[in-house]
Chains A and B, each alone.
Chain A
Amino acid sequence: DAGVIQSPRHEVTEMGQEVTLRCKPISGHNSLFWYRQTMMRGLELLIYFNNNVPIDDSGMPEDRFSAKMPNASFSTLKIQPSEPRDSAVYFCASRRDRAVYGYTFGSGTRLTVV
């Protein structure tokens, strides 16, 4: 089991540029979550998918953020245009429904917008 795989690990971009973060969940896990972590706000849920369908995107900060899950093995989080305040670590996590355990997190993408 390769775990949840995220790419890139680090991303530095200039303000105004488009940023795309990628995630491959654990095979067989049908729920996928995108979180953002900052020192000030901790771990915040941005959006989650169940069986590839977006269920709750109430945590997406604004229209500049969008997420897709075209199939069970791939999801993207896009920021366009990026701003310095988007700088954070973005985590993807997955879970199998009705599992009694919590999520498994990916290694995260550290985004810096300059």
Chain B
Amino acid sequence: QKEVEQNSGPLSVPEGAIASLNCTYSDRVSQSFFWYRQYSGKSPELIMSIYSNGDKEDGRFTAQLNKASQYVSLLIRDSQPSDSATYLCAVPRGVTGGGNKLTFGTGTQLKVEL
């Protein structure tokens, strides 16, 4: 099993819809989780972090964490064409889950269509 798994997509949603991006991880002791957005030809950019079970909202973005299921998701409400990018899930490595190294999933490509 890969340490961090994501569907590669592409995930296509119409403008204004909710985009749902999913990620599963293998290290049960992981405590923090990050979502990065990467536009084509650009570097990854941190958009959300979550540490506790439940939901965390920031503008149009909501991160959801379920540690029992080892599952983290990112919802994008009112999707815009400018949201079209690859979204990377990242989890720290380490026995305590607070390790200094981030392991990235391969990313899900999101396309928001007009």
A residues near B (Cβ < 8 Å) are 31, 33, 41-43, 45, 48, 50, 55-56, 91, 95, 97, 100-108
Contacts and interface: CB of A to CB of B under 8 A. Distances in A.
Interface stretch (B13-21, B59-67, B70-78, B97-105): B97-105
Contacts of A108: 43
Interface centre among B46, B51, B90, B100 (most CB of A within 10 A): B100
B43 A106 contact: yes
Contact of B49 (A45, A48, A95, A100): A100
B25 to A, nearest CB: 15
B81 interface: no
B5 to A, nearest CB: 11
Given A42-B107, A97-B100, A103-B102, 7 more contacts: A43-B44, A43-B88, A45-B101, A48-B101, A91-B43, A95-B100, A107-B42
A interface, over-half SS: strand
Contacts of B90: 102
A102 B34 contact: yes
A63 to B, nearest CB: 22
B32 interface: yes
B104 A42 contact: yes
Contacts of A104: 46
Contacts of A91: 43-44
> Across chains A and B, which 9 residue pairs bring their CB atoms closest together, nearest first?
A42-B106, A105-B43, A43-B104, A102-B34, A102-B46, A105-B44, A108-B43, A107-B43, A45-B101
A12 B100 CA distance: 32
A31 B44 contact: no
Contacts of A45: 101-103
7 contacts: A41-B106, A42-B104, A48-B100, A91-B44, A100-B32, A102-B49, A103-B102
Contacts of B45: 105
Contact of B46 (A31, A42, A103): A103
Contacts of A48: 100-101
